[in-house]
Structure formats: structure tokens, C-alpha cells
Amino acid sequence: MPRPPSDAREKIVDATIRLLRRGGLSASGINDVLALSGAPKGSLYYYFPGGKQQMVSAALALYQERIADQFSAAMGGAGRLQNRVARMCLGIEQKMQATQFRESCAVGAVLLDLDEADEALREQCESILEGWAQVLKSHLPEVAAAKRPLAARQLISMIEGAQIMARVTRDPRPLRDIAPSFARVFG
């Protein structure tokens, strides 16, 4: 087949990220992605000959990078610890508000659809969380070096949990609660 439109890959990956955030693997079938992206089926198999698994993996890789950039911008900016964490959580809240609390973290959503057959995908999710933890660790100068792994892990854990709570209750408070508590423990 001729090379498909050059923006088709980007549209497919973007649509996959949105669907993963909304409902995990079970919401991001090939046909769902085609419908949301408007990309022709041929272009999906052109860019992702491995089908859904390859497409999801590419989407998660881009998602990892985007969130890492967002965390880095918020946590690496000026201000004391509590304000930087609050800024990071506000970024998450704004995304959730923009979708009426219908989208949350893609890793949390994918994870819950994994069965034993998807070990490669679980490993990718693990590596994404580890990558984010590295980013956070590098922006926690207030925290003693020995405590940074714990602080980074707990911050990610709090963010994952708050997204679930916020999504169920359609209330951003669980995200807003994070910064004061985190700063109290680690500041």
C-alpha cells in the first residue's frame, strides 16, 4: 500500500492514549481507535503491523514521556515543595476536569485489564512507574537522598489513588489533598 498520511500515526497514538485513560485495554480495541482517530484502517496496520499490542505499547511509551515532561516542568520549577507538588496535581486535575472526570492515568487503567498473558505490558507499566519515580527523585532536593525513593514512590501512589477517588466522586479534592500531606511528611 502507499504510505498513509503522515499525521495518521500521531492521530492513532493520541486516540489510543485517550481510550486507555478512559477504560484501559478493554476500551481501546482497533475499531475504537479507528473511530476516535478518524485514521483509515490501512494506516493503522501500516504503522502497527503487530496490531493492538504494538499500538498500545507505542501509546504507553508516548504517554510515559508526556507525563514525565509534565511532572518535570511542575516539580523542577520554582517554589517550595508543597507548591511544586500542588502545581503538579493541578495539572492532573485540569486534565480530569476537561474530560468531566472520565479519564485518569493510563497505567492504572491498563493494569486492571491485564491477565497473565500480558506480562510484557505489565513490565512496560512497571518501567513507566519507575521512569516517573526517577523524574520525581531528581526534583526533590528538600528530601534526604536516602528517603527520595520512598518519597517518589509514595507521591506516585498518592496520585494514582487520588485519580481513582476523583473519578468516582467527580470531585477534585483528593488531588488537592496531596500536596499539604506530602510536604508535611517529606518537606
Residues that bind a second copy (CB under 8 A): 22-27, 102, 104, 107-109, 111-116, 122, 125-126, 129, 150, 153-154, 156-162, 164-165, 167-169, 173-174, 177, 181, 184-185
Residue closer to a second copy (CB basis): 43 or 154: 154
CB 157 to a second copy: min, Å:
4
CB 79 to a second copy: min, Å:
21
Residue closer to a second copy (CB basis): 115 or 146: 115
Q: In Å, how far from its chain's centre is CA 166?
A: 15
CB 17 to a second copy: min, Å:
15
Cα–Cα distance measured from residue 140 to residue 81, given in angstroms and rounded to the nearest whole number? 8
Task: Give the end-to-end CA distance of the chain in Å, rounded to a whole number.
Answer: 57
Residue 138 has a CB neighbour count (10 Å cut-off) of: 14
Residue 24 has a CB neighbour count (10 Å cut-off) of: 20
Residue closer to a second copy (CB basis): 48 or 132: 132
CB 154 to a second copy: min, Å:
5
CB 93 to a second copy: min, Å:
14
Residue closer to a second copy (CB basis): 4 or 23: 23
* Residues 158/159/165/169 CA torsion (nearest 10 deg): 140
Residue closer to a second copy (CB basis): 30 or 114: 114
CA neighbours closer than 13 Å in the CB half-sphere of residue 26: 7
Please give the single-letter amino acid code of residue 110: V
Nearest to 105 by CA among 92, 88, 94: 92
